[in-house]
Structure 1
Amino acid sequence: MTDFSSTQATPPPPRGLRSAGITAGIVAIAVVLAGTYWRMHESAQAHEWAETQSTPTVRLITPKPSGASDELVQPGTIEAWTSARLFARVPGYVRAWYADIGAHVAAGAPLGAIDTPELDQQIIQARATLVRVKAEATLARTTAARWTDLLKSHSVSQQETDEKNANAATHVAAVAEAQANLGRLLAMKAYATIRAPFAGTVTLRNADIGDLVGPGSTNQNPMFAMADGHRLRVYVSVPQQYAPLMHSGLSARLTAPAWPGRNFEAKLVDQSGAINPQTGALQVQLVMDNADGALRPGGFAQVHFDVPVPAGRLNVPSSALILRGGGVKVATVDASGKVHFATVTIAQDQGNSVEISSGLKPGEKVIDSPPDSLLEGETVHVAHG
C-alpha cells in the first residue's frame, strides 16, 4: 500500500500572511536605520561638543602706545651694603641667645652661645697629650745630651749618639704638633660664641635653646643674619638699548611706596658689563646713603634715570608676558583665531605693565594671562565682554 502523505506538496500560505510579513520586515529595517542615524547624529554632536570644550578660551587686549619721556623708570632691588648669615661652625647645642631680630649690635658683640661637650673632651685630651709629649721630649733631650758627653770619652758609638739626637728631635716635633692641635681645638671652641662680624641690625634669628646645630646636624639654617643698612646697594636691570647711557657716576632718584612724595638720591657705581640673554637687560648697581633707615634692605623701589626715552613703544600688562626659553614672549591671535608667539624686548618695567620696544606691532591682539599649555598655531576661542 503506497503512503502519499510524504509526497504531498505543502499548500502556500495565504496572501494576507505574506503581506503582513513583508510589512513587518520593512518596519524592522526602518527602526534599525532610524537608530543608526540617531546614534551617528548624537556622536557628531558629542564630537563637536568635545572639540568646543578642548578649544582654549582667552581674553584679548590691544597694546596701548606710550609717549616720549625724559626719564627711564625701572624697578630696583634694595640690598644692604654689608650683610652676613652666621652659621654654627662647631657641633653642639644652643645654650643661650643674646640678641633677637631688630636688635642693633656692635661689632664683636655676642649673639648666641653653644654647648660643645664633644669638643670640650677633645680639648682635655689634647692638653693631656701635650703634657705627655713635653715630658717625653724632655727625657729625649736629656738622653741625647748624656750620649753626646759619653761620645767624647768613646764610651758609646757615634751611631748610638746620632740615634738619641734624632729621637730627641722627633719628640720636639711631637710637642709642636700637639701644641698646634690644641690651638686648633681652642680656635674651634671660640666659635662656640656667635659674634657679630660688624655693627648692624639682627635681621634673623633661628637659634632656640636646646637646638642641635653645627656640622652633622639636620639643622643647616643660619643661626643669625645681620645687615648694615646705613648705606644701600640698589640693583636695576636696564634694557640693553639704554646700556650705552649707563656710566659710573650717573645720578638717579628712587621713589618707594612707603614714602609717597619723597625722593632718594643714588649714584651708579658698577655694571655687570654683559647683557643677560634671558632678560635682554644690563644689571647696574647704585649706592645711596640711608642714615635715617627710611629704606629697608630686601625692599623694592622705582629708579628714575635722567635719560631720554623715545616714543613709539607699546604698553602691555605684565600678565601677558611669557617667560620661556629664547627670551620674553607674548602670544598674539590672528584674524583666523590662531595663536602666534612673538619675542619682544622690554624697554621699561613699570610693575603691573611693561613697555615693549620691539617684537610687537600696533593693533595686534595680545592674549592676557595665556595658559601654559598654549601652542603655536593653536586655535582659540576669544571671550567677549
Structure 2
Amino acid sequence: MPPVPLVREITGSGHVIALQSVPVFARYEGRIERVTVTLGSEVRAGDVLAVLSDPPARLALDQAYARLRTAELTLTARQITLAQAKADLHRAETLAARGSLSQSGLENAATTTRTAANSADLASAAIEEARIAAAIAAERVEALTIRAPFAGTVTQLNARPGAMILDRSDSIREEESLLTLTRMDNLAIEADVAERSIAGLMPGLEAEAELDAAPGAPFPVRMTLAAPEVNPAKGTFSLRFAPLAPPVPLRPGMAARIRISLPSTTQTAGATSQ
C-alpha cells in the first residue's frame, strides 16, 4: 500500500500583544495643568499629550536669560575698553618711536591692552556659560509639555489635571506613568506551546489562529519568532505570529488559540507495528 502521510498538530493558547507599547513619563516633576487626550485618543508623533506647571522652572529660565543679557552687555563694555586700549597703545608706540614717550610708558600701555583683551576673553567665556545655562533651563521648561514619541493610541490614561507627579527618575512603575501609548497597527499574537512540540517550528511557518472574540472564524498567521528559552515552570515556550487576515480588528489582550499542522512520519496503510 502507498505510504499515508501523518500530520502532527500543535496547539497553543495566548493573547494579542502590541509590539510597541510605551508608558509615557514626565522628565521632571510638576503639577498637571491640563491633559489634552482621552482614553482611546489617536495621536501623531509630536502631538501634545499633557502640560505641566512648574513656576520655579519658568523663573529659572527668566533668570538664565537675564544673566545671558548681562553677560552680553559686559562683553560689549569690555570690547569698547579693549578698542580704547589698542588705540592708546598705537599712540604710545608712535610717541615712543619719536622719543616722546619712555619705555616704561610704552610697557604700561601694552600691559593695559593685554589686560583689556583678557577681560574681553573672560566676558566671551561668561556668555558661553550663560548660553548653556539658558539652554538647560529652556529644555526643562520645554519638557513640561509632554509630547507623543510616536503615532499611536492612548490605551491607558493615569494623568489627571491638578495632580502632582514625580519626575522619571523617581517614577519607575508603569502605573505611575502619565499614560501608555500603543501602536495599534503593529500587533502580533504570542502563544505558548508544549516544550515537546519544538521540533520543526521555525520562523516563516504558516499556521491558523482563532480569537475568542470571533469564535468559529479561523484565519491565517505566520510565525515570526520562537522564544530562545523554555519556561521551566510551565514546560512551554512562546511563539510569535503575524496575523494575516483577522476577521475582526485586533486589540491587545484578546485571547487567541493557535493551531499548527506539520508533516510527521509516514506509514503504509494497513501496516501493523511490530
State the TM-score, normalizing by the size of structure 2: 0.76
For residues 95 and 292 of structure 1, what CA distance do their matches in structure 2 show? 42
Q: Given residue 177 of structure 2, which amino acid in structure 1 is its aligned partner?
A: P
For residues 181 and 291 of structure 1, what CA distance do their matches in structure 2 show? 54
Deviations 1:23-77 (A, max 9, x none): xxxxxxxxxxxxxxxxxxxxxxxxxxxxxxxxxxxxxxxxxxxxx9632111123
SS at match of 1:138: helix
Partner of 1:169: 121
Q: Which residue of 80, 86, 108 maps to 1:148?
A: 86
Q: Given residue 298 of structure 1, which amino acid in structure 2 is its aligned partner?
A: G
Q: Which residue of 90, 109, 113 maps to 2:47?
A: 109
Q: Which residue of 185, 189, 198 maps to 2:150?
A: 198
Q: Does 1:260 align with 2:215?
A: yes
Percent identity of equivalent pairs: 25
Q: Assess if the C-alpha contact under 8 Å between 1:92 and 1:115 holds in 2.
A: yes
Q: Which residue of 188, 197, 200 maps to 2:140?
A: 188
Q: Assess if the C-alpha contact under 8 Å between 2:193 and 2:236 holds in 1.
A: yes
Aligned residue pairs, count: 243
Q: Given residue 185 of structure 1, which amino acid in structure 2 is its aligned partner?
A: A
Q: Given residue 262 of structure 1, which amino acid in structure 2 is its aligned partner?
A: A
Q: Which residue of 207, 225, 230 maps to 1:270?
A: 225
* Long gaps (5+) in structure 1: 1-67, 311-385
* Long gaps (5+) in structure 2: 1-5, 94-105, 266-274
Q: Given residue 248 of structure 1, which amino acid in structure 2 is its aligned partner?
A: P
For residues 58 and 204 of structure 2, what CA distance do their matches in structure 1 show? 54
For residues 234 and 128 of structure 2, what CA distance do their matches in structure 1 show? 57
Partner of 1:376: none
Q: Which residue of 45, 67, 78 maps to 1:129?
A: 67
Q: Given residue 65 of structure 2, which amino acid in structure 1 is its aligned partner?
A: R
Query: Judging changes above 3 Å, is the alpha-carbon distance between structure 1 residues 147 and 201 closer, same or farther for their aligned structure 2 residues?
Result: same
For residues 151 and 248 of structure 2, what CA distance do their matches in structure 1 show? 14
Partner of 2:3: none
For residues 172 and 204 of structure 1, what CA distance do their matches in structure 2 show? 49
Partner of 2:162: 210
Larger Rg: 1
Indicate the RMSD between aligned Cα atoms, in angstroms.
Answer: 2.9
More RCO (CA 8 Å, sep 6+): 2
Q: Assess if the C-alpha contact under 8 Å between 1:97 and 1:111 holds in 2.
A: yes
Deviations 1:145-201 (A, max 9, x none): 333343442363555533432332222122122112212222222222222222222
For residues 273 and 231 of structure 1, what CA distance do their matches in structure 2 show? 22
Partner of 1:95: 33
Residue 289 of structure 1: how far off its partner (Å): 5.2
SS at match of 1:84: strand
Query: Judging changes above 3 Å, is the alpha-carbon distance between structure 1 residues 282 and 218 closer, same or farther for their aligned structure 2 residues?
Result: closer
Partner of 2:240: 285
SS at match of 1:150: helix
Query: Judging changes above 3 Å, is the alpha-carbon distance between structure 1 residues 241 and 105 closer, same or farther for their aligned structure 2 residues?
Result: same
SS at match of 2:39: coil
State the TM-score, normalizing by the size of structure 1: 0.56
Q: Assess if the C-alpha contact under 8 Å between 1:202 and 1:227 holds in 2.
A: yes
SS at match of 2:23: strand
